Amino acid sequence: MDSRITEKLKILADAAKYDVSCSSSGGKRKNENKGLGNAEGMGICHSYTEDGRCVSLLKILLTNHCIFDCAYCVTRKSNDIKRAAFTVQEVVDLTINFYRRNYIEGLFLSSGIFSNADYTMERLVRIAKKLRQEHKFNGYIHLKTIPGASEELIKEAGLYADRLSVNIELPSENSLKKLAPEKSYSEILLPMDNIKQQLMQAKEEKKLFKSAPTFAPAGQSTQLIVGASAENDQQILLLSDQLYKDYSLKRVYYSGYVPVSADNRLPIITEPPIIRENRIYQADWLMRFYGFDVKEILDDSNPHLDLDIDPKLSWALRNRHAFPVELNTADYEMILRVPGIGVKSAKKIVSARRFAALTFEHLRQMGVVLKRAKYFITCNHKSLQPYDFDSQRIRNKILFGDGAVRSPLLTQQLDLFRQVG
């Protein structure tokens, strides 16, 4: 292989990396044709970048030529960077050969928009089709849906892809107008709604005919950029909540804005808002796995997530009347709301207490972390806390007390925010 491929890979991986979706799970494509690959069940992270993100898929752009000029995007038309384009065959070869060596779970293919939306989308679909039909490839394929692509092409994409996604990127119509003048919310939401309809239809047909074609079995996702525009955390989470409910999205990804351009439409920041992004993810998890309503996490008087502490602890400190929770009798749903207790610990607690009254010693042995939880629980009506601290005291004890661990990154970023604020 010549150095041209190496050069293209450099450019087109660089251009694709700000799309943070990496999931390779939820596919139901079994290897039934004695072909290559199997994408049933769990996703696999084959490596991790030095920034700590999972590498599961070959994530590339087909090309970084683009007719749009979105301020936040490294690939925008007005940016003076090297441009490149893969051929269909090159993408297929890379995918197959990386997959055969167990480097990846599959392909994540996106693209800058060249000529027009349909022309671009058609190329993406052609690659997926070739992988599935000519190479009997059953690995994971995630295709980006190009805003403005026709319904027919999206429908065809869903036949070959495991997941489809349309990125909203900016959390409000206003910001979109300002930073991505060629895009509009309606143009983004239309394909999203389209995919949702197709997913529902395919599900119905599956009920009737087992042989009905599957449509993007791993569903659809989107991405929101955090920190490139002025929306607060409440606006972002309300939007996510709506996307989960109205469009049945599998995932909303959040990408802390990495300053990739000196475009004057953007705020001047020196570092990506990693802590804020992390808190938003935690809040997203609370909505999806912990039974929290978005309105419990943030409201008009608290529109920002607390950067110092996680949103569950934050909620607990505002709702002291709900505690302490007696672990031997409380509902599973309430145990899940205890700061520091996750889904696995909560399940273990509920399971083990059927056999014996749990003590704190049991909890320690089971690996339940008590650092935060101890202020909010009792075991057999005993507490590890002799005093009834007020919320501010608990907050301080958790943040600065014995065994408080703060990553250097957190300290650094919080210092920065203090300087700014």
136: left (phi over 0), alpha (psi -120 to 50) or beta: left
Helix, strand or coil for residue 109? Answer: strand
The three state secondary structure string of 383-416 is CCCCCCCCHHHHHHHHHHCCCCCCCHHHHHHHHH
Tell me which residues in 106-165 interact with another protein (CB under 8 A): 136
Question: Are residues 57 and 105 in contact, defined by beta-carbon separation less than 8 angstroms?
Answer: yes
Residue count at the site for another protein (CB under 8 A)? 60
Q: Which stretch binds another protein (CB under 8 A): 64-72, 152-160, 227-235, 364-372?
A: 364-372
Q: Which stretch binds another protein (CB under 8 A): 161-169, 176-184, 359-367, 413-421?
A: 359-367
Taking the complex as a whole, the smallest distance from the CB of residue 401 to another protein amounts, in Å, to: 22
Q: What's the sign of the alpha-carbon dihedral 316, 253, 15, 266?
A: negative
Indicate the Cα dihedral angle 175, 264, 254, 95, nearest 10°: 120
Please give the Cα distance from 172 to 170 (Å, whole number): 6
Examine residue 98 and tell whether it contacts another protein (CB under 8 A).
yes
Q: Which of 172, 164, 132, 130 is nearest to 146 (CA)?
A: 164
Taking the complex as a whole, the smallest distance from the CB of residue 110 to another protein amounts, in Å, to: 13
Residue ranges of alpha helices (H) inside 23-138 are: 88-100, 117-133
Q: Which stretch binds another protein (CB under 8 A): 196-204, 226-234, 320-328, 363-371?
A: 363-371
Q: Which is nearer to another protein, 189 or 366 (CB)?
A: 366
User: Using CB under 8 A, which of 159, 190, 212, 352 touches another protein?
Assistant: 352
Tell me which residues in 248-307 interact with another protein (CB under 8 A): 256, 258-259, 271-272, 274
Examine residue 89 and tell whether it contacts another protein (CB under 8 A).
no
Q: Which stretch binds another protein (CB under 8 A): 4-12, 156-164, 177-185, 384-392?
A: 4-12
Please give the Cα distance from 417 to 181 (Å, whole number): 30
Q: Which of 202, 217, 164, 212 is nearest to 39 (CA)?
A: 217
Examine residue 332 and tell whether it contacts another protein (CB under 8 A).
no
Q: Which is nearer to another protein, 82 or 245 (CB)?
A: 82
Taking the complex as a whole, the smallest distance from the CB of residue 342 to another protein amounts, in Å, to: 14
Taking the complex as a whole, the smallest distance from the CB of residue 123 to another protein amounts, in Å, to: 21
Q: Which is nearer to another protein, 53 or 382 (CB)?
A: 53
Q: Which is nearer to another protein, 79 or 385 (CB)?
A: 79
Taking the complex as a whole, the smallest distance from the CB of residue 407 to another protein amounts, in Å, to: 7
Please give the Cα distance from 381 to 395 (Å, whole number): 23
Half-sphere exposure of 189 (CA within 13 A, CB side): 13
Taking the complex as a whole, the smallest distance from the CB of residue 12 to another protein amounts, in Å, to: 9
Q: Which is nearer to another protein, 54 or 334 (CB)?
A: 54
Examine residue 30 and tell whether it contacts another protein (CB under 8 A).
yes
Examine residue 406 and tell whether it contacts another protein (CB under 8 A).
no
User: Using CB under 8 A, which of 115, 116, 133, 407 touches another protein?
Assistant: 407
Question: Are residues 173 and 185 in contact, defined by beta-carbon separation less than 8 angstroms?
Answer: yes
Please give the Cα distance from 76 to 95 (Å, whole number): 26
Half-sphere exposure of 169 (CA within 13 A, CB side): 26
Query: What residues make contact with another protein under the rule CB under 8 A?
Result: 1, 3, 5-6, 9-10, 13-14, 16-18, 30-31, 34-38, 42, 44-55, 58-59, 94, 97-98, 100-103, 136, 256, 258-259, 271-272, 274, 348, 351-352, 354-356, 358, 362, 365-367, 407, 409
